Amino acid sequence: MGVEIKESRVTDEELDRMAAFVFEYLSASVENEDEGGRMRWYPWHSADYRHNHILNVVELAEEIARAEGADVDVTRVAALFHDVAKLDAEQDIHAEEGARVAREYLQSRGDYPQSFVDAVCNSVAEHSYQGDLSDLPLETQCLVEADLLDKVGANGTALMLLRMGYEARTHMDAAEMVERVLERGRDAADRVQTDTAESIAYRRLKRVKWFREWLSDEVSAIDEPAF
């Protein structure tokens, strides 16, 4: 069951201010690092990409939360802050650091109930959890599922193909890169728990399979898909 925080309603204006803060924080993280920061030459390590990923996760997490009966406000605010520290903290601590940033923001820029703040920050801190998602509160589960799903489907395929250029690959390697997206999508479909997330995962997998089939039809010497 989701957490019961009926008095915590967050307006669209408040969400917009949070999103603006997150983008500013990400941008400052890049500017403050020597030589552009860790792997900044990859576009998905930029503030623009990370912010877009966050907004995608907010949309997916909200869709899952509404369908599954989770607290939508907790879920979408946690989704907004889940990667706020991605560009200035090491990968293994970015979730905890993001929770710290979220708590500081929520406690200093609004009159939110402590139960709401705690629920949001706990979700942010646990969004990298690698165990069984059914062990998590429903709001956190919706966030983790959304985070997984943004890396598959058409968006994941576009990012993989973009990566080819940065690795000096040719279009002949496209099938291999798309297969990686399929593998990631299958892993996501196996890991998600809610019916809503599972439906989204299989819908996105289908799109990638279609693209892989089109590649095999149009590019010589690409093997037939093995699925």
The CATH number given to whatever domain includes residue 67 is 1.10.3210.10
In a domain, residue 186? The reply is yes
Output 179 or 195, whichever has higher pLDDT: 195
State whether 115 and 171 are in the same domain: no
The residue-averaged pLDDT of 164-193 equals: 80
pLDDT of residue 154: 85
In a domain, residue 143? The reply is no
State whether 128 and 22 are in the same domain: yes
In a domain, residue 223? The reply is no
139 pLDDT more than 80 = yes
State whether 82 and 158 are in the same domain: no
Q: How many domains does the chain have?
A: 2
In a domain, residue 140? The reply is no
State whether 11 and 121 are in the same domain: yes
pLDDT of residue 67: 97
Q: Residue 26's domain spans which residues?
A: 6-133
In a domain, residue 201? The reply is yes
pLDDT of residue 39: 46
State whether 19 and 71 are in the same domain: yes
pLDDT tens profile 52-108: 999 999 999 999 999 999 999 999 999 999 999 998 888 889 999 999 999 999 999
pLDDT of residue 217: 78
State whether 126 and 49 are in the same domain: yes
pLDDT of residue 170: 66
Which of 102, 133, 164 represents a domain boundary (last residue)?
Answer: 133
Residue 126's pLDDT band (cuts 50, 70, 90): very high
State whether 80 and 187 are in the same domain: no
> Which pTM was predicted?
0.86
Q: What angle do CA 133, 149, 15 make, to 5 degrees?
A: 90
State whether 104 and 165 are in the same domain: no
Q: What is the mean pLDDT of the chain?
A: 85
Q: What distances in angstroms separate CA 98 from CA 32, 103, 198, 215, one per listed residue?
A: 17, 9, 27, 40
pLDDT of residue 200: 95
Output 133 or 158, whichever has higher pLDDT: 133
Residue 153's pLDDT band (cuts 50, 70, 90): confident
State whether 106 and 77 are in the same domain: yes
State whether 93 and 184 are in the same domain: no
Rounded to whole angstroms, the Cα distance separating 49 from 55 reads 10
In a domain, residue 148? The reply is no
Strands (E), the chain: none
In a domain, residue 104? The reply is yes
CA dihedral of 34, 38, 42, 48, whole degrees rounded to 10: -70
In a domain, residue 142? The reply is no
